[in-house]
Every structure is written in C-alpha cells, then in structure tokens.
Amino acid sequence: MSKAINKTLASYRWQLKGLLHLLLLCPLFYCVLAVVNGWWGGDPVQAIIHYLANSALNILVIALCLAPVSRKFKLPSLLAYRRLIGLYVFVYALLHLAAYLVIDLGLDWQLFWQENIQRPYIWLGMIAFVVLLAMSITSLKALQQKLGRRWLQLHGFVYPITLLVLVHFWWSLKSGWLEPVLYLVVVAGLFSLRKLQIQRWLGSFNNTNHTK
C-alpha cells in the first residue's frame, strides 16, 4: 500500500502540487468572498487580520505533520511537498502582517511604534516573521546545498517560532484561551513525535561550538 502511494506521489508530483496550490489558496479566496459579501460585518479589518493569522498557523501545523506521517506510514515521497506547504505559511504570515500595517494602521509608522510599545506581543510576531522570511529565502535547493549544516540549523528554528507564534496568538486575544490551548496541545503532540529531531537540532549548536 505504501509503495503504491509513494509511486502515485512521485509520478503525479506536478499535478498534486497544482492541486495543493489550489487548496492552500482556498483560505485566501474565502477571505476575499467574506469581505466582498459582508460576512464579517461593515468593519472587517480585525477579522481579516486574525483570519490570515489563523490560516498561517493552520498551514504551519500541517507542515509539522508531514515528517511524522511520512515516517509512520513509510511515505518519503510526501516530503517533496513540504517546501511548497512551508512557503504558504510565509505567504499567509506576510498577508497577515500586510493587512495589519496597511489596512489597520494605514502605514502610519509612528502609530506602529506606539503599538509595539503598548503591545509587546507584536514583537514576538515580528521575530517569528523574520525567521520565516529567512527560511523561505533559503528554501531554494541551491542555497540548501551551499549552506549545508547551517541550513538545517536555520530551518530547525521552525520549532521555537511555532511556540512564539502560539504565544503571540494567545497574547493578542482580548478574551478566551481555549483555542490557543488546543493549538498548544496539538503542537506539543507533534513535538513529542519529533523529539529526536529537536534534540539533534539543539545538539548541532553544541557541536558547532566545539568545532570552532
């Protein structure tokens, strides 16, 4: 069964990637429809910002699922889709940031700095975004080969930034904690499945220091 699925994933890679593009663009299409049809009320700014953030977080969780599922069901071909899914995490994070800066703040940079002072959770989101940006730029195969071990170290930062995003999400809510806690439970489960990978990633920094 695994062989057949691997063969299908490998044989129809481009078609499946095309389908993935469509699926991963669905949240954006829904966002546009919701705004155009007034489903989020007359002032949908906050709904847009939070929806795009949730979309980025949901896709990030999906990306984190790929490696454990691949190992569990012996589907290495599944990992060929990890980069594409990871890039959409960045796309939705970028749209979330753009909606906040352009629609909510109107590119008023003075107001942006005031918001940063009053709401420190914004800094956490910005740090996570910068790391995501670096990971997206270096996701090219040519850079992966050039950076070697450092590429693995950089992309291992997906673990801490996932936690940063969850804290950013929880802190940004005016009320309610159930949704962030549910995400935390799912992420904790995924991290437990990737315990060895996380330990190797943390250990790689010690090894680097020893070789200097």
How do residues 59-101 score in pLDDT, each as one tens digit? 999 999 999 999 988 889 889 999 999 999 999 999 999 999 9
In this predicted structure, the answer to whether residue 135 has a pLDDT above a threshold of 80 is yes
pTM of the model: 0.91
pLDDT value at residue 210:
54
Query: Is the pLDDT at 27 greater than 80, yes or no?
Result: yes
pLDDT at 212: 47
C-alpha closest to that of 125 among 192, 170, 84, 174: 170
Residue 107 has pLDDT above 80, yes or no: yes
- Could you tell me if 183 and 208 are in contact, meaning their C-beta atoms sit under 8 angstroms apart? no
DSSP 3-state of 165:
helix
Other C-beta atoms closer than 10 Å to the C-beta of 135 total: 21
